[in-house]
Amino acid sequence: MIPVAIVGAAGYAGIELTRLLLGHPSFKPVCVTSAADAGKRVNELYPGLSGTNLVFEAPDAAAIAGRAQVAFLAVPHTAAIAMTPVLLDAGVTVVDCSADFRLRDPDVYAAWYGVEHGARDLLGEAVYGLPELWRAALPGARLVACPGCYPTATLLASAPAVRAGVVTSGRVIADAISGVSGAGRGATATTHFVSVAESVAAYKVGAHRHTPEIAQGLADLGLRNPAVVFTPHLAPLSRGLLSTVYLEVSPGLSVDDAYALYRDAYADEAFVTVCEPGMQPATGHVRGSNRAHVGVVLDTASRTLIATCAIDNLVKGAAGQAVQCANIALGLPEAAGLAAPAPIV
């Protein structure tokens, strides 16, 4: 068994990582950390994990490096910057679920996150961990930067059309809806039950930090000069994310052509399902799983391809994708620990 650490394990993404890794055939969690909950048993804070005896520890990069071969970082931005060099120097593979190594341009990072990047020398080494689109870069990777949940769904919805060269404008509009767990474990005035129940609201309009990450991904897919208009919405769901992307396409593209592009692009992907014509993805269909469901419709009158992708923001949007990337990086079966079907209800 490969010993692993989960840093920031008390948060929603971190505890989802813990849940998945406890059932993994090749990984064994030996260390789970939480600065706020050090000393507490995992099953005390999360009784659903009653079968484990793990205890939260204070995060210490040197101590983690002495015990784990792989470290999953589920921490706020800047925290991964501080820990990653120590872990890498000790030979630990780092799978980072934070935003710290997703953006290759440190000036873009500084502009959107409000701090200078403290590990610029590692940005060129970090592999962007969206396997369905950039799998070839993952085997043997020392540092994996897992995508954000919104970019994951938005890029999966966009990729087949962009790569096929049928998108005729760099202007890409994405409207996305996420469950409240995407905001993290700490309650705020805008995320507690009374504020969220029976209500849907847009937030961080024109200013969400995933915007440059989406633009970077679209450029990597081959879209020239992407101009992204991204609007996230908060919905009264505990988990789940739906991104709807609007792409201007060539006038000669037919409805059948559009569907065939997506069907063929994802035909061999274990975790992506392209919905049959006339069907659309729903967050309930992927809840609790590492799956992504993609639907595609062509509005011929406006020459707009409307592609929609549903994922679980905590699994394919965070913890599950991290495990998927780690599997590939270490030469394990890609679906190891992730193959269970989604719950029906």
Catalytic site positions? 149
The owner of tokens 């990653």 is: 84
Cβ proximity of 279 and 225 under 8 Å:
no
Q: Residue 227 is which amino acid?
A: A
Nearest-angstrom CA–CA distance, 154 and 310? 9
Two structure tokens written together for 310:
């549903």
Contacts of residue 325, defined as CB under 8 A and 6 or more positions apart, other chains included, come to 95, 127, 129, 131, 138, 141, 144, 146
Nearest-angstrom CA–CA distance, 35 and 56? 8
Q: Which residues of 196-226 are buried (b: 16+ CB within 10 A; e: fewer)?
A: beeeeeeeeeeebbbbbbbbbbbebbebeeb
Cβ proximity of 288 and 343 under 8 Å:
yes
At 273 the three-state DSSP class reads: strand
Q: Kindly list the distances between the CA atom of residue 35 and the CA atoms of 17, 88, 183, 222, in Å, as whole numbers in the listed order.
A: 17, 21, 19, 42
Question: In terms of Cα–Cα distance, which of 86, 90, 110, 87 is closest to 99?
Answer: 110
Question: In terms of Cα–Cα distance, which of 328, 315, 317 is closest to 93?
Answer: 328
